[in-house]
Structure 1
């Protein structure tokens, strides 16, 4: 998959920008605040229909404007496709492929797979389990449309069950039979999600360990453990056992919406023991493993977005990452950096066709 062109109108700080890209490496250089990361975010929108920074769509409309538009020309190996995303202040977000609107946003996910490596990845280690669940869901959704459908249905069902629990508390009554209606879809969708999360996590652990060893040249053993209520109990049993607890709390306390990924180094939580360098190496290994797995499962080479990471890595890790990029044939790459000289040196070492855009 190759992005040939990108157009941004009223997107974040960009009134209008247009780019014609190299099929291999594209670099955006300039001082902090000029909007380099915002261009990468526009590319991420083409892939995932949302910001990788977690911003709400309306907040990405340029100040004092009424809409933003992102348009990309994408070569899928057979033909060029036009992806257009538009968000107006007073309307729903629209995504079109070749002038035809998607019936559901979810139908677009997986067409243009992507992986981003950025300074914000450190949140995966420091934040709550919610950020790690979202990351896991995004990884799997790019390779499995059924997973995304099940996830959306599960989340809707949890919201409905929670709303009923709150309604019971507000009106001081309780109807267990009425609440039980939601158990069947929760179990059906939740069990499928659990099984796919577990399988996917197990499949990337050996990849992460291999990449980590190459990047860090370290002797530490890293791993990921998938933590879920469903590891030890059937979902139906959990819902029945925690019925009274859910009634008191007014929300569904058990289920795959409480899952987490535990990042470990030598059997101990990485958050507690790993240095910044070790954490960075692990996170890059995690993202490269994601890329490898997407490519294997979809037969599509994801675009690779590298946001300001060369400023955060020492020379050894930069060299190892560049060697991996060469070795693995990662496809089209987009890089942001504050230093044109450093970027030019990095590109020379990768030894591919490149374009540098100064913002």
Structure 2
């Protein structure tokens, strides 16, 4: 089991200096908007992923007026103590120390402390563009397979180089395909690996999503999921070659795994066009619970689960079903934020679950 026993924050977001101890499996974090509930969850996420869930720039996580931050977490992983420290220096350099040893490559840390977070803006996974669903899938697979993460990093690096080259063609009037084909060959190996992993993994993940949606919604609905990729019909090398002319014209790479999607249908129509707010929330939770379950199966123990403001926009029936699933039917540690401490207590008392409430 993975259990966070204590966390200390120095100059992180709205926390100048603070520490918290966690003694129960279920932890409620309560307080008014703006007091730092979400920031505390983000600090936990930082220790698991070496980055913020909510901002792309580390500097945006520094306390106002400061020039760096320090986060330290004391974990227990499979009955062994594990201290993890994440530091952003004044120079902008970020450091990670795990078990007393500096981590030279952050990508190798991903998956050591498996974690799933559910936040209000995550509904973009359902309603947003394909990049949101790819980001969800990539974050999950990167925790399960270090080779997947490395292939994705390599693919994105070459893709950026290829796109830069395509943008230069108009000015330089270069017509030779030689360099373009070199970039193609460099994209194929990591891209094919990512594609095959996604295709195979989604065969297991998507049925779980349907199962969890039914449990949360409480009644069957005509949902259908499909992996949408041009690579299902042709080889990667042939696909890239067939798009050369279009790529030159638009000055970017128009085909590849960076265009993949998960097509979600309600009957014959796009789910996001017809679904109510409650249905969208239910599907979001179903996706995240499926992520949680896959991590649990692969790792052999439950990941941390961070629930940010999940009581909003779900009716009492759906909320009860969600809490029953995550709190009663799972053994992992769960952190839940809410503006009302009494609401968390009441809901968990109904399920007869002991919990720790932290008021900010």
Count of matched residue positions in the alignment of Structure 1 and Structure 2: 359
Q: Tell me the CA shift for residue 91 of structure 1.
A: 2.4
SS in 1 for 2:82: strand
1:273 is matched with 274
Residue of structure 1 in register with 2:249 after alignment: 248
CA distance in 1, matches of 2:140, 2:185: 26
Query: Equivalents in 1 of 2:61, 2:120: separation in Å?
Result: 20
User: Could you say if the C-alpha distance between residues 334 and 350 of structure 1 is closer, same or farther in structure 2, counting changes exceeding 3 Å?
Assistant: farther
User: Residue 246 and residue 88 in structure 1: after superposition, are their counterparts in 2 closer, same or farther (change >3 A)?
Assistant: same
Q: Where does residue 159 of structure 1 map in the other structure?
A: 160
SS in 1 for 2:75: strand
Relative to structure 1, the CA distance from residue 28 to residue 213 in structure 2 (aligned partners, 3 Å threshold; closer, same or farther) is same
Q: Is the Cα–Cα contact under 8 Å of residues 126 and 272 in structure 2 kept in the other structure?
A: yes
> How big is each residue's C-alpha offset from its partner over 1:255-306, in whole Å with a ceiling of 9 and x where there is no partner?
0011112222224211111111111111111111110111111213101111
Aligned to 1:15: 16
Task: Please list the CA deviations of residues 303-326 of structure 1 after superposition, one character each: whole Å capped at 9, or x if unmatched.
Answer: 111111113211101111122124
Deviations 1:151-174 (A, max 9, x none): 001111111111222223222223
Q: In structure 2, the residue corresponding to 1:103 is in which secondary structure?
A: coil
Would you say 1:187 and 2:220 are equivalent positions? no
> Is residue 27–residue 357 contact of structure 1 (8 Å, CA) maintained in 2?
yes
Tell me the residue number matched to 2:114.
113
Q: For the residues of structure 2 that align with 1:39 and 1:212, how far apart are their CA atoms?
A: 28
CA distance in 1, matches of 2:19, 2:220: 46
| Partner secondary structure for residue 92 of structure 2 | coil
What is the deviation of 1:330?
4.0
TM-score, normalisation: structure 1: 0.96
What secondary structure, in the 3-state scheme, does the structure 2 residue paired with 1:181 have?
Answer: helix
Query: What secondary structure does 1:142 align onto?
Result: helix
Q: Which residue of 1 aligns with 2:200?
A: 199
Is 1:301 the counterpart of 2:302? The answer is: yes
Structure 1: gaps spanning 5 or more residues: none
Give distance in 2, aligned partners of 1:351 and 1:142.
Answer: 32
SS at structure 2 position matched to 1:7: strand
On the 8 A contact 2:24/2:356 being kept in 1, the answer is: no
Instruction: Describe the SS at the equivalent of 1:353.
Output: coil
CA distance 1:80–1:267, change in 2 (3 Å): farther
Q: How far is the alpha carbon of 1:106 from its aligned partner?
A: 0.4
Q: CA deviation at 1:68?
A: 1.1
Unaligned segments of structure 2, at least 5 residues: none
Equivalent pair of 2:68/2:92 in contact (CA under 8 Å): no
